[in-house]
Amino acid sequence: MDFIKAILRSIDFYWKKFLIFFLLVFLGVGGFLLWRFANGAHADIQFAQTPQYTSTYQFKLNIEVKDNGTVLINGKDSSGDLRIFPEYYEVRILALDSPGTFINNFEADITLPKPVEKNAIEQQVYAVHGVGSYRTDMTGQTLVYTAENISPQASLTIVAHLPKDILTPPLGKRIIYSIGNVPAKIFLGIAIGLPLLTIIILLFMILKRRKDQLLFLGAEPYDRPPKEVPPAVAGVLIDGQVGAREIAATLIDLAVRKYIFITRKGGYFSFGKRKNLNVEQSSELRNFEKLLLSKIFMPQDYFSTREDVEQRVGHHIFSRKIAQVFLEIYNEATRQGYFIQNPAGVHLRWKYTGIVLFFLGILGFIYTAIYAPDPKFTLIFWVGEMAAASVIIKFSSLMPARTSEGSQSLSSWMAFRKYLKMNEKIEPGAILEDKFSKLLPYAIVFGAEADWAKRFMKEPFTKPDWYESMEPVTTLEEFVGGLYPLISFVGSILAESHEPTVE
């Protein structure tokens, strides 16, 4: 079990979810095919199996083909035995399949809906594993098939090719026939074009929903956060989703606010919790911050090492607590008035739509593979439909819906983001270390941490009191070289462990 978890942890989270989903589908499809194989194809006459083969003198099938394409065998509907081909209709009936008893004489009569010239009908018999003789005949509007001396292991199939003017099959059957006779290259074009069209439509929708972000790329830099909101919430406003950067920025923000401290020793690290901090009872911590700290620290512990974090993350394939962190960040962003609906709900609806379409594609593929006439070109269509559904699932987390207030706030946050990324030395007159640390969580969530650090590289630096290292840290370059990879690692493993119910 630990080995399986290790494999799941090592692969991309998107493919991890699909691996589990495909496993469930594989088990379902495999079970269905196994059931179908176990039941096998049944002949239209069933015989009781006995330990000793017995002899039966005669068996007869009365088959009636109606003008609407209905096929009745001894009064029982068997319309699936009628197939449509370009030049004719085919009635193909597996009459005997290992009956288990010796049959002296067998007869099957197919009654047509109206008289037909004999030369317009083609009758065939396929007999294997012991049939003494067989012949076909036609009297009036009845096709006659007879066979003699049929062994207990024999298989006997009767076939009739009927002219096109004799029947009018139902519309559904004709539609299936028309689809089945579309050239393979057209289905191939649809299979390739369908996911491409889906990508184009979704990209258009995403660009439409994010047009404000593109418009505000040219905003004038603004040197402070426009509103007192958590860095993770600001990140959701810009990107529309929670990810590793939002988790990493939250950890740094907690450290800057003196709730936790970080210690690094080579490739190892540990988190420390301030001894006067009661996570559950704190009124200053937000819900998602409490949940995140409770994932890193056990209630009675004040320290948590890298091994502790990895163990808690690896204890389950998915973490409900981290999913709750995601959801609470989305809730906070919605409470701030940034979104019309909770982005998590929007993402989930798109995701479920894609999953339903993907599942329908699998069902269509299975049905076509089993029941569609050859050549089964429609299988290509279902592959394209599943690919399009996969695109919807993949893009589901990129579909936010900002309010007008959210769009207005975005302008200010984009201006602040531009300030963090400026390629200019930081303005003098500030306590540089404090300013660097205070805005660092926002730089991380906006993907501007490298640009933000460059603005301080030539200034004297003293490491903040929330960061300890066993190696000397006398420059900003040494500080960020130790902190950034550490926080990136922790943010990634925590973000990737969340349950797929929240994106």
Structure tokens at 364: 């269509």
Q: Do the beta carbons of residue 248 and residue 342 sit within 8 Å?
A: no
Same domain, 64 and 109: yes
> Rounded CA gap, 229 and 252, in Å?
15
Burial of 482 (0-12, 13-18, 19+ CB in 10 A): buried
33: in domain: yes
Q: How many domains does the chain have?
A: 3
355: in domain: no
> Rounded CA gap, 170 and 69, in Å?
7
> In the 3-class helix/strand/coil scheme, how is 317-381 assigned residue by residue?
CCEHHHHHHHHHHHHHHHHCCCECCCHHHHHHHHHHHHHHHHHHHHHHHHHHHHHCCCCCCHHHH
287: in domain: yes
Domain around 32 = 1-40
> Rounded CA gap, 93 and 80, in Å?
10
Same domain, 465 and 330: yes
Burial of 461 (0-12, 13-18, 19+ CB in 10 A): buried
Same domain, 309 and 430: yes
Same domain, 113 and 245: no
> Rounded CA gap, 403 and 73, in Å?
65
501: in domain: no
- Which residue is associated with the tokens 């996911």? 195
Q: How many CA atoms within 13 Å lie on the side-chain side of 370? A: 14
309: in domain: yes
Same domain, 305 and 224: yes
> Rounded CA gap, 40 and 351, in Å?
37
Same domain, 251 and 325: yes
> Rounded CA gap, 132 and 9, in Å?
64
* Helix orientation angle between 378-395 and 343-371, rounded to the nearest 10 degrees: 170
At residue 369's C-alpha, the angle toward residues 363 and 372, to 5°, is: 105
- CA 198 to chain centroid, in Å, comes to 15
Same domain, 410 and 478: yes
Among 172, 190, 205, which residue terminates a domain? Answer: 172
Q: What is the pLDDT of residue 50?
A: 44
Q: Do the beta carbons of residue 238 and residue 417 sit within 8 Å?
A: yes
206: in domain: no
Same domain, 238 and 274: yes
Same domain, 167 and 254: no
422: in domain: yes
Among 172, 202, 235, which residue terminates a domain? Answer: 172
Q: Considering only CA atoms, which of 154, 155, 177 is closest in space to residue 164? A: 177
Q: What is the pLDDT of residue 252?
A: 92
- Contacts of residues 338-343 at CB distance under 8 Å and 24 or more positions apart, as own/partner, are 338/233, 338/236, 338/237, 338/402, 338/403, 338/405, 338/406, 338/409, 339/400, 339/401, 339/402, 339/403, 339/406, 340/401, 340/402, 340/403, 341/401, 343/236, 343/240, 343/241, 343/400, 343/401
Q: What is the pLDDT of residue 440?
A: 92
For 340-359, b/e burial (b = at least 16 CB within 10 A) is eebbbebbbebbeebbebbe
Same domain, 165 and 305: no
276: in domain: yes
CA 331 → CA 238, 281, 283, 345, 503, distances in Å?
15, 20, 18, 10, 13
Same domain, 162 and 269: no
Query: Residues with Cβ < 8 Å from 48, sequence gap 6 or more?
Result: 100
Among 117, 146, 172, which residue terminates a domain? Answer: 172
- CATH number, position 72: 2.60.40
Strands 467-469 and 260-265: parallel
- CA 31 to chain centroid, in Å, comes to 21
Q: Considering only CA atoms, which of 86, 71, 92, 79 is closest in space to residue 178? A: 86
Q: What is the pLDDT of residue 435?
A: 84
Averages of pLDDT over each 10 residues, the chain, 503 residues: 42 50 58 51 50 62 84 80 79 84 87 84 86 87 89 88 80 64 71 82 71 61 88 88 88 91 82 79 86 83 80 67 87 87 79 87 81 69 84 78 82 89 73 81 92 83 85 83 84 71 59
Strands 71-73 and 303-305: unpaired
* Alpha-carbon radius of gyration of the chain: 35
Q: Do the beta carbons of residue 50 and residue 100 sit within 8 Å?
A: yes
What residue type is 64 in one-letter code? E
Q: Do the beta carbons of residue 11 and residue 19 sit within 8 Å?
A: yes
> Rounded CA gap, 159 and 177, in Å?
19
Same domain, 429 and 476: yes
